[in-house]
């Protein structure tokens, strides 16, 4: 068991020692800029490409405090509104110019991130006021477009606790975040042609407008804006360009003189203004704060980098063609984005807060909330994007994750995305978009599905690999079932069903050549190798897929298949159970485990019941013997969860170590470890930890499930790893979105959109006190409060059309009828 | 004042939290590999190019402990002999394969680095023995060749504190450190053609031999060896190549089976052995340790990467031509290096320890020893190198420093190297090599010296820059004087004198057009800008150079110049003092300080007396009014030393911050700060801190000098910065070698080789107790012990030929006569 008290980034503030904490701002498919624990801007990734470590020079917030109108340097204090650098302070030339590490900063900063809402407090005994920062990008559940705005609200708030009136200025300096050619190894961008930056004012929206040089069809092209609706502003629209630190020295001279900014009177002190390099501007917001007064300073950062390469990788067909980001079909430029957000901020913020309050205000265990909330950031990271395909919604595509400077593993990989649940519940239309792509474009005539959807960018070429993925192909059938059932959209099912039937039929022929309903031929899978012979990963997924397909076949009027699938699921599960259950868990049946490289044999595979996990999530119940499933998932916990990894031996990649706790992918408690076991067997993956944790909870092992969850989130507190970035093969790894399943498992929540039936059966929390949880249906997001026999459902967003409510397996009833819009609460009692 | 107790890396051990500590191994001009505080190998830079962050995959030491002959896994413990990773544990794919972070390590490691000797202790409650590592590259004072061996001694030592006999194995695994094409952004190398690795045995030297693919004239070409003279070894000469982690899994399976290694029976499990990529081998040393026994396990790592580009930068003429490293003229390959070192290790180690003991065993302040010892590592870093020029000694060349992946600022830059003293005292032949290059190749007919010696690689092109450097050119005259005087080599002076005279004469014409003996024309300098008008930096350096040149002119039979220079120095100093001394310090005289960018005006320039500092070091005494000099250097301390930089304002590069202490380059206590002061004015440079500290001590402000020194070394404790890397414009920055001057200033040491006169007048330490210090003359290194009226001089290395000894300004005498060889001690008493 972890010995430290559970502390999470969403429950306890981080100081500036949390150097790896980086809270991402940005919407779905927009790229991100992150805020570090010092309140610093970092990891600029607006260019349709990951960019960890990318930094913009001279981009920081300055606070200036002084008696109103004073020009006495002794009466003023001017600092960068960031916490101090925590160190180490290495660098082959110290901290470089662009970091301005030599300007005074705040002694402490403390950051509390409750995704999507970030708060940072700053303290310094030399500064008479108390500033803080609140930052977010609007997140509207079920609405990928309004959750996909290329923007970040940066709201600084300053309290004047003194008995003196004070003139307080917040000045944001920003280097052009668009138009760069590349990013150097020191993290700073290069510009072969300087962008423009100007002051612009439209109505009550004013601020800086950046435009990249070059044509609008250039991949580097983009616009950005830093705007406000604040009345009293001053600006330095463009810093001095050129030699050494002229620009920043002049900026600092200017603001420290009187707390206000002036435009420079020349472009540069050099003989010729350089035409290359970055351009920097500053926007200052002024207020006079009375004693005891608190004032807001609201900036809006917006960007618009419309052009993506129409391919996954350089060298692929289409790479030189432009495809638009979906957001670019809504807005012509960053200034228009800013206008939309300024105008709609009250509603956008209300939705964001409604959802965040529902999630963080629930009585679910803190570790579950922490994990689920963090997973939302994956959906809005560089891992996911939406391209213009001519439809109103666009085409959703995703990497597995994001390497620091490129996408990691193309094609919305089916076997990785199998685990992810967050989008299915919060942005289900994106998962439907993925399913359409997979079934309509990537299933061949013989039913083989390419597990990487490269045709999402168009073109006929499929991804060339010698094996289909057994877990990916069959899991995608289960996921389609999830999407149909959650949405209740029969048209969606009808559109895809013929392809689903092909994909399922293919499985019999391809993976079960001997017809015993236990898959035994070469089974490529998510460990990037092939399993040989009977094993639970492939077969349990097969039975889950057959169960789901049977229901869909029935609904599609294909009774023959419905029956055939159901019978096969039943018989196969029984046969597999007979062959592979060893009395405690399911094994791989091989005469010689070393006959092939990378098998697991008699080991305890953490993923052995992945198909069962997906079946539980979709209301299919047990697809394999329930007692054996309980035994096996408990065995996974007993053998593979390590409360201290200090003596764990792994020559593979390392995601958890030392005295950290974690669930390893496989172990061999009874011996029989292959000489070269499968290549990730000794690793610890959060995506698998969450799926096992949720599954444990589904089977009644609640404390075991929460123990694993706590272990994960204690590794991601911001001290050793970024709470908003669970890496596997890449940052923001899709598999980590398995964590939303924890909410489902803990609450026993089930929404069947085909029957408009909502069920809840919480297994956590003290039921003698009110239990509350967030929920989503296909059309609504809200919260449910259970208090004794009473149930209250409040709709925060969308419309809830409920036909049936079941709490703790008892039907509930209400006087209210019909669809319920946002802002309304329904009250239920047992029928 | 610093509030924390002074702790230095050379006085208190660092644990594995000291993630930036990297102790460099390697000789002069050989490149380096460093050892981190965990005992890990890091920063592989053997390829004639800096390479911070370069790492070799699967390169680590394994310890295996078990009852002799046991194959019972339960009775054995096998770990990587490194301290645990301290975190953060970020990485876009976790810790990558090559780091093997998933193998168990030691709970703690503690590193004490006393350059050139490194010691690390390891502890873990699961490991029954106590291992440690001692590592060094031989350092023989005054002998750049034997201090320039491309080798590292890695001596593991294991103590068995149990009452059981134990079989203890130390196995070093090493990826080829030669033959790579490049290093990727993750730090690992790429090999388009795999190197070879084989087991080899010659006499009692045995081990692994690596050879790069490709021709011997390829820039990538090289050899390396990992050897031992240990009897009982086992080897895995080449790991399995190919897919995933086959190689490392097989290694771990092998060593954990019985504690010994076997060759693999095949090259790869893949269908075809890959021809690209790295090759890895392991060499295991075995001992049976009786209860209470301690045993050594000695490895020698050697390398030989002979071919340098014959130019500073890609694109320069000569870049495609090969010039040999000087060490490559001594040895045909790494195996030959290893043979030489194995054979001569007793003497090499004795010299190394003799010098190290003399330095660290002195009674000098700990901060002075810490600073001076660290500066030795610059001489043996990638900043310095020696190329084959057909002579026995080779041509010494150097960068200013080393950027992480390339040299920083070419041409043994005169104005930066001005400050460096370490080589002049420990490897003076290298400084003479530099002076020859500067005066014989880089002084034009009119006496202008190019301050970057690009002709060191041959060719006629000089470095094209519009200004000569006033501080560089004149400081180099003083430094030539230092080299001549220290060596007593009149032939050396005769060879260079005509060029020196030209360079001095040029100064009158160029920098003093109005003939008032105060330099006032455009004065380019080490701040990379030009000072205009009268200022102390240029003029004081001028008077120092004139004093030195006068002595050299006299010695060269040029009485006319001797007199002219002496008179000019006298008159000029008086005039300058009149014009620039403001009652407290020397200022720059400008009507409008903002008429030119980057001036300092009435500010307190830390470097205002740099020329005086060099004059003190060379026995010239005060070249400007002594009282005013004392006042001015005290003013530098009073105004520019900051005991806490939290509120310091700088928009420049940042080398010290937060509550650290440091000396800034300039301040304006009486106002008058230019709008755009010179571009480094607010920075903190260790090289200037040391020169000011030493100068303060020279002037009697001992505590002030030590305060600055403590401030520097408390910034370089290994917590926030690497103790063996003081960066400025690049790592291992040459200017930081000013610190050896602290020993000179503290001891009042002066060696005049022309008169064979040694003087000592310590100003530190409690003289009621024995005072000891290290010393060097042109031909000897030794230690001096003063105890009451008795003085003992012990020669550690070389031969001391002493005509005159002066202690505390009193002549001393001895019964012994004639030159004294190493190992002998002379005893003196007052005459």
The series of mean pLDDT values per 10 residues for chain A, 831 residues long, is 70 96 98 98 98 98 98 96 96 96 98 98 98 98 98 98 98 98 95 97 98 94 98 98 92 98 95 92 98 98 98 94 98 98 98 97 98 98 98 97 97 98 98 98 98 93 94 98 98 98 97 97 98 98 98 98 98 98 98 97 98 98 98 98 98 98 98 97 98 98 98 97 98 98 98 97 95 96 96 96 96 88 95 91
What is the rounded CA–CA span in Å between residue A697 and residue A764? 9
Helix-strand-coil percent breakdown of chain B, rounded to 5? Answer: 30, 25, 45
Distance from CA of A59 to the nearest CA of B (A): 13
3-class SS string, A86-100: CCCCCCECEECHHHC
> Cβ A682–B20 below 8 Å, yes or no?
no
Q: Assign A805 to helix, strand or coil.
A: strand
What is the rounded CA–CA span in Å between residue B621 and residue B636? 20
> Cβ B651–A100 below 8 Å, yes or no?
yes
Nearby residues of B97 by Cβ (< 8 Å), 6 or more positions away: A651, A652, A653, B57, B244, B245, B248
pLDDT in tens, B553-598: 999 999 999 999 999 999 999 999 999 999 999 999 999 999 999 9
* Structural contact between residues B621 and B629, judged by C-beta atoms closer than 8 angstroms: no
* CA closest to A252 among chain B residues: B651
Chain B hits for A378, CB-CB cut-off 8 Å, are none
* Structural contact between residues B749 and B358, judged by C-beta atoms closer than 8 angstroms: no
Q: What is the pLDDT of residue A817?
A: 76
Distance from CA of A250 to the nearest CA of B (A): 8
> Cβ A269–B676 below 8 Å, yes or no?
yes
Query: Judging by beta carbons within 10 Å of its beta carbon (0-12, 13-18, 19+), is residue A391 exposed, middle or buried?
Result: exposed
Distance from CA of A363 to the nearest CA of B (A): 31
> Cβ B657–A89 below 8 Å, yes or no?
yes
* Structural contact between residues A543 and A611, judged by C-beta atoms closer than 8 angstroms: yes
Short-list A261, A301, A257, A298, CA closest to A59: A301
Distance from CA of B810 to the nearest CA of A (A): 46
What is the rounded CA–CA span in Å between residue A766 and residue A772? 11
What is the rounded CA–CA span in Å between residue A630 and residue B177? 52
What is the rounded CA–CA span in Å between residue B609 and residue A302? 53
pLDDT of B3 strictly over 80: no
Residue B706 pLDDT class (50, 70, 90 cuts):
very high
Chain B hits for A20, CB-CB cut-off 8 Å, are 88, 90
* Structural contact between residues A97 and B646, judged by C-beta atoms closer than 8 angstroms: no
Q: Does B653 touch chain A (CB under 8 A)?
A: yes
* CA closest to A528 among chain B residues: B244
* Structural contact between residues A608 and A639, judged by C-beta atoms closer than 8 angstroms: no
Q: Does A28 touch chain B (CB under 8 A)?
A: no
pLDDT of B214 strictly over 90: no
Residue B520 pLDDT class (50, 70, 90 cuts):
very high
User: How many pairs of residues across A and B have Cβ atoms under 8 Å apart?
Assistant: 199
Q: Which of B91, B102, B655 sits opposite A651 (nearest CB)?
A: B102
Chain B hits for A173, CB-CB cut-off 8 Å, are none
Short-list A205, A247, A244, CA closest to A226: A205
Please report the residues numbered 83 through 112 in chain A whose beta carbons come closer than 8 angstroms to any beta carbon of chain B.
84-85, 87-97, 99-104, 107
What the block records as the tokens of B753 is 């080789």
What is the rounded CA–CA span in Å between residue A161 and residue B277? 63
Distance from CA of B756 to the nearest CA of A (A): 42
* CA closest to B89 among chain A residues: A720
Q: Does A657 touch chain B (CB under 8 A)?
A: yes
What the block records as the tokens of B166 is 């134990």
Q: Which of B85, B102, B405 sits opposite A682 (nearest CB)?
A: B102
What is the rounded CA–CA span in Å between residue B490 and residue B502? 19
Q: Does A271 touch chain B (CB under 8 A)?
A: no
| DSSP conformational letter for B439 | I
> Cβ A97–B653 below 8 Å, yes or no?
yes
Instruction: Out of A15-19, B447-451, B459-463, pick the least confident.
Output: B459-463
* Structural contact between residues A264 and A236, judged by C-beta atoms closer than 8 angstroms: yes
Please report the residues numbered 477 through 506 in chain A whose beta carbons come closer than 8 angstroms to any beta carbon of chain B.
none
Residues across chain A: 831
pLDDT in tens, A785-826: 999 999 999 999 999 999 999 999 999 999 877 799 999 999
Chain B hits for A731, CB-CB cut-off 8 Å, are 92
Distance from CA of B82 to the nearest CA of A (A): 13
Q: Does B668 touch chain A (CB under 8 A)?
A: no
Chain A hits for B657, CB-CB cut-off 8 Å, are 84-85, 89, 95, 101-102
Please report the residues numbered 39 through 58 in chain A whose beta carbons come closer than 8 angstroms to any beta carbon of chain B.
52
Q: What is the pLDDT of residue A557?
A: 97
Chain B hits for A97, CB-CB cut-off 8 Å, are 651-653
ipTM above 0.85, yes or no: yes
* CA closest to B685 among chain A residues: A94
Q: To the nearest whole percent, how much of chain B has pLDDT over 70?
A: 99
Q: What are the phi and psi torsion angles at B663 (to 5°)?
A: -105, 120
Q: How many CA atoms lie within 13 A of B422 on its CB side?
A: 25
pLDDT of B695 strictly over 80: yes
Please report the residues numbered 371 through 430 in chain A whose beta carbons come closer than 8 angstroms to any beta carbon of chain B.
401-405, 408
Instruction: Report strand pairing: B407-408 vs A804-807.
Output: unpaired
Instruction: Report strand pairing: A641-642 vs A130-136.
Output: unpaired
* Structural contact between residues A634 and A704, judged by C-beta atoms closer than 8 angstroms: yes
Q: What is the pLDDT of residue A242?
A: 83
Chain B hits for A92, CB-CB cut-off 8 Å, are 52, 401-404, 408, 727, 730-731
Distance of alpha carbon B527 from the chain centroid = 22
Please report the residues numbered 676 through 705 in chain A whose beta carbons come closer than 8 angstroms to any beta carbon of chain B.
676, 679, 682-683
Q: What is the pLDDT of residue A3?
A: 47
Average pLDDT of chain B is: 97
- How far apart, in Å, are the Cα atoms of B223 and each of B41, B229, B237, B332? 18, 19, 15, 10
> Cβ A87–B719 below 8 Å, yes or no?
yes
> Cβ B654–A102 below 8 Å, yes or no?
yes
* Structural contact between residues A76 and A66, judged by C-beta atoms closer than 8 angstroms: yes
Query: Judging by beta carbons within 10 Å of its beta carbon (0-12, 13-18, 19+), is residue A292 exposed, middle or buried?
Result: exposed
What is the rounded CA–CA span in Å between residue B352 and residue B357? 8
Chain B hits for A683, CB-CB cut-off 8 Å, are 94, 102
* Structural contact between residues B303 and B341, judged by C-beta atoms closer than 8 angstroms: no
Helix-strand-coil percent breakdown of chain A, rounded to 5? Answer: 30, 25, 45
Q: Does A19 touch chain B (CB under 8 A)?
A: yes
> Cβ A653–B95 below 8 Å, yes or no?
yes
As a whole number of Å, the end-to-end CA separation of chain B is: 43
**pTM of the predicted structure, to 2 decimals:** 0.97
> Cβ B92–A246 below 8 Å, yes or no?
no
pLDDT of B2 strictly over 80: no
Distance from CA of A646 to the nearest CA of B (A): 6
In a mutational test of the B interface, the residue from A402, A654, A667 whose CB has the highest number of chain B CBs within 10 Å is: A654
> Cβ B95–A126 below 8 Å, yes or no?
no
Q: Does A71 touch chain B (CB under 8 A)?
A: no
Beta strands in B55-149 (DSSP E): 60-66, 77-80, 108-114, 117-123, 130-136
Q: Does B648 touch chain A (CB under 8 A)?
A: yes
Question: Other CB atoms closer than 10 Å to residue A711's CB: what's the count?
Answer: 26
The widest CA-to-CA distance across chain A, in whole angstroms, is: 89
Chain A hits for B650, CB-CB cut-off 8 Å, are 102-103
What is the rounded CA–CA span in Å between residue A412 and residue A50? 16
What is the rounded CA–CA span in Å between residue B624 and residue B468? 24
Per-residue pLDDT, averaged over B812-824, amounts to 90
Q: Does A648 touch chain B (CB under 8 A)?
A: yes
What is the rounded CA–CA span in Å between residue B829 and residue B831? 6
Q: Which of B90, B249, B731 sits opposite A676 (nearest CB)?
A: B249
Q: Does B649 touch chain A (CB under 8 A)?
A: yes
Q: Does A668 touch chain B (CB under 8 A)?
A: no
* CA closest to A718 among chain B residues: B88
Q: What is the pLDDT of residue B4?
A: 52
Query: Judging by beta carbons within 10 Å of its beta carbon (0-12, 13-18, 19+), is residue B275 exposed, middle or buried?
Result: exposed
């Amino acid at each position: 068991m972890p010995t430290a008290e559970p502390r999470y980034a969403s429950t306890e503030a981080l100081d500036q020692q949390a150097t790896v904490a980086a809270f991402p701002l940005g919407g779905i498919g927009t790229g991100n800029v992150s805020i570090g624990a010092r309140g610093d801007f970092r990891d600029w990734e607006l260019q349709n490409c990951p960019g960890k470590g990318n930094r913009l020079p001279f981009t920081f917030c300055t606070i200036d405090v002084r008696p109103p109108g004073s020009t006495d340097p002794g009466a003023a204090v001017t600092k960068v509104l960031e916490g101090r650098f925590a160190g180490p302070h290495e660098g082959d030339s110290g901290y470089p110019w662009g970091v301005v590490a030599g300007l005074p900063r705040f002694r402490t900063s403390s950051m509390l991130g409750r995704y999507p809402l970030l708060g940072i407090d700053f303290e310094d005994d030399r500064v008479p006021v108390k500033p803080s920062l609140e930052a977010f990008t609007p997140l509207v559940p079920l609405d990928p477009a309004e959750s996909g705005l290329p923007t970040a609200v940066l709201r600084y708030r300053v309290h004047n606790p003194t008995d003196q009136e004070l003139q307080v200025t917040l000045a944001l300096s920003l280097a052009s975040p668009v138009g760069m050619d590349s990013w150097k190894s020191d993290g700073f961008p290069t510009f072969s042609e300087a962008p423009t930056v100007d002051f612009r004012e439209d109505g009550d929206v004013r601020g800086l407008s950046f435009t990249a040089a070059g044509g609008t069809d250039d991949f580097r092209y983009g616009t950005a804006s830093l705007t406000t609706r604040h009345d009293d502003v001053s600006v330095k629209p463009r810093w001095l360009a050129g030699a050494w630190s002229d620009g920043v020295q002049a900026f600092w001279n200017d603001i420290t003189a009187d707390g206000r900014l002036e435009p420079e009177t020349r472009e540069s002190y050099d003989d010729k203004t350089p035409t290359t390099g970055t351009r920097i501007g500053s926007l200052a917001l002024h207020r006079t704060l009375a004693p005891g007064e608190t004032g807001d300073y609201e900036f809006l950062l917006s960007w618009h980098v419309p052009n993506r390469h129409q391919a996954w990788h350089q060298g692929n067909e289409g790479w030189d063609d432009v495809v638009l980001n979906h957001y670019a079909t809504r807005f012509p430029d960053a200034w228009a984005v800013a206008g939309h957000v300024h105008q709609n901020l009250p509603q956008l913020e209300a939705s964001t807060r409604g959802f965040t309050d529902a999630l963080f205000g629930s009585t679910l265990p803190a570790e579950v909330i922490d994990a689920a909330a963090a997973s939302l950031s994956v959906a809005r990271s560089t891992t996911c994007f939406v391209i213009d395909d001519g439809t109103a919604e666009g085409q959703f595509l995703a990497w597995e994750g994001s390497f620091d400077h490129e996408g990691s593993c193309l094609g919305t990989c089916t076997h990785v995305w199998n685990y992810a649940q967050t989008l299915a519940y919060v942005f289900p239309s994106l998962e439907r978009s993925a399913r359409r792509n997979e079934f309509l474009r990537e299933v061949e005539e013989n039913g083989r599905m390419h597990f990487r959807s490269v045709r999402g960018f168009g073109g006929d070429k499929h991804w060339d690999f010698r094996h289909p993925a057994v877990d990916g192909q069959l899991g995608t059938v289960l996921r389609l079932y999830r999407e149909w059932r959650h949405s209740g959209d029969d048209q969606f099912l009808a559109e895809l069903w013929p392809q689903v039937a092909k994909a399922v039929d293919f499985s019999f022929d391809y993976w079960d050549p001997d017809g015993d309903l236990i898959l035994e031929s070469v089974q490529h899978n998510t460990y990037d190798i092939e399993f040989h012979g009977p094993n639970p990963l492939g077969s349990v997924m097969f039975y889950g897929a057959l169960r789901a397909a049977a229901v869909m076949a029935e609904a599609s009027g294909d009774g023959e298949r419905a029956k055939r699938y159901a019978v096969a699921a039943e018989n196969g599960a029984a046969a597999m159970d007979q062959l592979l259950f060893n009395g405690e868990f399911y094994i791989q049946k091989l005469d010689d485990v070393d006959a092939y490289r990378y098998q697991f044999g008699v080991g305890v595979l953490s993923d052995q019941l992945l198909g069962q996990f997906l079946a539980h999530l979709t209301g299919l119940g047990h697809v394999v013997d329930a007692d054996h499933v309980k035994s096996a998932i408990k065995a996974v916990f007993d053998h593979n969860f390590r409360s201290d990894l200090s003596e764990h031996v792994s020559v593979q990649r390392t995601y958890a170590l030392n005295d950290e706790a974690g669930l390893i992918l496989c172990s061999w408690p009874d011996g029989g470890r292959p000489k070269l076991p499968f290549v990730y067997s000794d690793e610890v993956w959060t995506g698998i930890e969450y799926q096992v944790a949720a599954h444990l909870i589904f089977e009644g092992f609640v404390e075991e499930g929460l123990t694993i969850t706590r272990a994960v989130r204690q590794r991601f507190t911001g001290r050793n790893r970024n709470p908003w970035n669970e890496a596997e093969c890449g940052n923001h790894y899709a598999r980590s979105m398995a964590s939303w399943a924890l909410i489902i498992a803990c609450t026993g929540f089930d929404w069947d959109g085909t029957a408009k039936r909502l069920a809840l059966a919480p297994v956590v929390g003290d039921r003698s006190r009110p239990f509350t949880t967030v929920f989503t249906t296909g059309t609504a997001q809200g919260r449910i409060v259970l208090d004794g026999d009473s149930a209250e459902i409040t709709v925060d967003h969308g419309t809830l059309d409920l036909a049936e409510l079941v709490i703790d397996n008892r039907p509930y009833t209400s006087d209210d009828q019909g669809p319920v819009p946002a802002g309304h609460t329904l009250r239920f009692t047992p029928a």
